[in-house]
Amino acid sequence: MPLEPTAAAARASLARVALDRNSLYLEPCCVHTVVGAVAALVRGHPGTRTQGDRVRWAVEDLIGVWRLISYVDLDEAGGSREGPLGPDPQGLLIYGDHGHMSVSMMRGDHATAPESATVFMGYAGTWRPVEGAVKHHVSVSAHPFQVGTELTREAELDGDRLVLHGVAVIDGRPQRRVLTWQRVPAPVSAQRPAGMSVAETRPKEHSP
C-alpha cells in the first residue's frame, strides 16, 4: 500500500519544474517523458514518504466531490503566480466509485474579465490511479483536441485537501500548474441514516 505524502516536501520538489500560463494540458506525445521526470523528483526528495515508486493514498480516499480553492502557475524559481482562471477560480472535481470523473472550472470574475481571457475549462471521462498519480481518460471536453487522450496528474492528499500537479508542454519544454481542491461534504439530503438502504432513500412515486 502507498504512504500518504508529505505535501510540503513533494510540492518543494515539484516546484523545480517550470509552468506556463497559457496551457493546462499535457500533449499526449510527451506524457511519458514529462511524467517520468516529475516522478523522479518526487521519489528523490528526502522529505517525501514513499514506498517503492508510489506515494501513499488509497483509491477510496479520492472518491467524492472536490471544490477548487486554488489554481496557480509556478515560475522557474518555484514562486506561484495567478493561473489562467484569474484570482478567484471556481470549480468542482468529481471522482466516482464507478470509475467515471468530471471536472468543471470557471473564472469567478467572469463578468469583468478581459474579453480574451479564458472563462471555462472542463472535461469528463474515466479515471484510474497509477503510482501516486491519477490518469484521466477524456471522453468529452471543452477543448476538442483532448478527446481520446489520457491526462496525468501527480496527486498529493493531506486530509481533506487534494493537490493535483498538471504538466503542459510548450515548445518542447515541460511547464507546471498546481490545482488545490477541498473535499465537499455530502449534502444532508443525500445522507442516509445508518441501516437504511439506498432504495429506501429514493422519493416515493405517487399515482396521478
State yes or no: pLDDT of 46 exceeds 50: no
Angle at CA 25, nearest 5°, toward 22 and 30?
A: 115
Report pLDDT for 113: 84
Mean pLDDT of the chain: 73
- 55 within 8 A of 39, measured Cβ to Cβ: no
CA-CA-CA-CA dihedral for 103, 109, 113, 119, to nearest 10? 10
Of 41-55, 86-100, 145-159, the range with the lowest mean pLDDT is 41-55
The Cα 151–Cα 8 span in angstroms is: 24
State yes or no: pLDDT of 43 exceeds 70: no
Question: pLDDT digits over 2-23, tens only?
Answer: 333 444 444 444 443 333 333 3
* DSSP states along 106-124: EETTTTTS-TTS--EEEEE
- Under the banding of pLDDT at 50, 70 and 90, the label for residue 1 is very low
